[in-house]
Amino acid sequence: MRVAGHARRGWYNRRGGPGSAIILMYHRVADVSDDPHALAMAPQLFQEQLAAFVREFTVLPLQELVGRLQRRDVLPRYGLCVTFDDGYADNFTTALPILRACGVPGTFFVAGAGLDAAYRYGWEHHAPDLYEHVDAETLAAAAADPLVTIGGHTMTHPHLAQLNYRQQLGEIADNRRMLADITGQAVTLFAYPFGWVEDYRASRQAVADAGYAAAVTTTAGLVTRRSADLLELPREDVHAMPADAAVAFLRHAFGG
Ligand SMILES: [Zn+2]
């Protein structure tokens, strides 16, 4: 008998538990000669990781995970969501073709100021030529792909905890409007710049008031129905690990 894909991959959650998911965070997929902030991973490694993840886990769009949490619906036994931060051009020229080849959905959190090709974020000033941001035209084309979701990441990538509420709301809401105009789609997911606890605790109200349904941090952790706070969803980072090590790391994070 041929077992249906969903059953084989654990949607029925054979142990009877409520399931869980891990949200992965990436920044760049590129062969780079210099990477002082360790943001990039080689395309070959990214492809190997995704191929292994599709075999081992149940990949799903972050939007679907959020919808299931909102409805208090069952989660997969080993759910996995792929996200990218900052809006680098290689996300769309290099990572997206690999995501498509593996059938893996991706959510891309794009800061607004970088859509101006000359703009550089704070960590890029030391070597501006190392970094290329996506442009609005590429972003609009990518957003039409059903595997792609575009999410917000503020305009200028500030430490939100250092801003007052009014400034936070401006950064967050202006970016959301801009991305909605470019993509023609509602933007419902947000990633906190830097994503540290002081940043998201200080700005989650502004994120909610800007109209976002859910937001991700850079605090490590497992997403379960019991623990999930939709405005503080944790993420894991496996970007430099060989595929086997990444699978072992995630299995451990899932609880074995
Ligand atoms: Zn960022």
Q: Do 135 and 66 form a contact (C-beta atoms < 8 A)?
A: no
Distances (CA, A) of 169 to 39, 160, 199, 213: 27, 10, 13, 15
Q: What is the mean pLDDT of residues 116-134?
A: 92
- Residue 14, pLDDT score: 46
pLDDT of residue 12: 42
The alpha carbon of 200 and the centre of ligand 1 are apart by a number of angstroms equal to 13
Query: Under 8 Å CB-to-CB from 125, ≥6 apart: which residues?
Result: none
pLDDT category at 36 given cuts 50, 70, 90 is: confident
Mean pLDDT of 224-247: 95
- Residue carrying structure tokens 């991305």: 179
Q: CA 34 to CA 40: how far, in whole Å? A: 9
Q: Specify the higher pLDDT residue, 35 or 137.
A: 137
Give the tens place of pLDDT for each residue, 139-151: 999 999 999 999 9
The length of the chain is 256
CA of 157 to the centre of ligand 1 (A): 6
Per-residue pLDDT for 162 more than 60?
Answer: yes
Residue 118: which residues within 8 A CB-CB, separation 6 or more?
Answer: none
Q: What local confidence, expressed as pLDDT, does residue 128 receive? A: 86
Nearest to 235 by CA among 203, 192, 186, 198: 192
Distance 195 CA to ligand 1 centre (A): 8
DSSP 8-state symbol, 164:
-
For residue 216, which of 239, 241, 236, 238 has the smallest C-alpha distance? 236
Spacing, Cα 196 to ligand 1 middle (Å): 11
Q: Which of left, alpha, beta for 216 (phi over 0: left; psi -120 to 50: alpha)?
A: beta
The Å distance, Cα 121 to ligand 1 centre, comes to: 9
pLDDT band at 23 (very low <50, low <70, confident <90, very high): very high
The whole-number average pLDDT for the span 192-218 is 95
Residue 184 has pLDDT above 70, yes or no: yes
| pLDDT at residue 189 greater than cutoff 80 | yes
Measured in Å, residue 4 CA sits from the centre of ligand 1 at 38
pLDDT at 64 over 80: yes
Long-range contacts of 39-46 (CB under 8 A, 24+ apart): 39/86, 39/88, 40/90, 41/239, 41/240, 43/94, 43/95, 43/98, 45/242, 45/243, 46/95, 46/98
pLDDT > 70? residue 223: yes
CATH number for 97: 3.20.20.370
User: CA angle 235-231-15, nearest 5°?
Assistant: 60
Using the predicted structure, report yes or no on whether residue 3 has a pLDDT greater than 60.
no
What is the domain range of residue 43? 5-254
Q: What residue type is assigned to position 112 of the chain?
A: G
* Count of domains forming the chain: 1
pLDDT band at 17 (very low <50, low <70, confident <90, very high): low
Q: Is 80 exceeded by the pLDDT of residue 4?
A: no
Percent of all residues in the chain with a pLDDT value above 90, rounded to a whole number: 84
